[in-house]
Amino acid sequence: VPNLQGPCYISPVPNGGFVVSEECGDVKVFTSSRKLLCSLSSKYGHRFGNPTGVCVDMEGSILVADEQRCTVHLFPEHGAPVCLVSTGLRRPVGVACSSFGHLFVADAGENCVKVFKYCVRPP
């Protein structure tokens, strides 16, 4: 996949495609045939500082750690983004989620992994 601006982190998505974060830029979603499906900043009108870790939860929502803004946002397939973590992070760089609704955040600023429980209910 060419023409990415500093690709950093990557995660598979349920349809066989993948999501990739670009350093100081955007997060892009690709199909299984490696075609650009969407840019999260364009689709949601969201401005990233420095998107780092990305993962996809059981509902197909994309979770993104923003190292510069010290946040983790959830981007559902339909609807507006949800800020899951807005305090308590110094330098979030990696994220992963479990099938039990746990969000794991690697915080390089505090040299630890922080665990959060989350549940997103439909509107």
DSSP-derived letter for residue 43 is: H
**pLDDT at 123 > cutoff 80:** no
CA distance 40 to 20: 10
Mean pLDDT over residues 5-11, rounded? Answer: 94
Tokens of 107: 């915080």
Task: Please state whether the predicted TM-score (pTM) of the whole model is above 0.85.
Answer: yes
pLDDT in tens, 23-63: 878 999 999 999 999 999 999 999 999 999 999 998 899 99
Contact 86, 71 (CB under 8 A): yes
Name all domains of the chain by residue range, CATH numbers in brackets: 7-117 (2.120.10.30)
Q: What is the pLDDT of residue 101?
A: 87
Contact 17, 11 (CB under 8 A): no
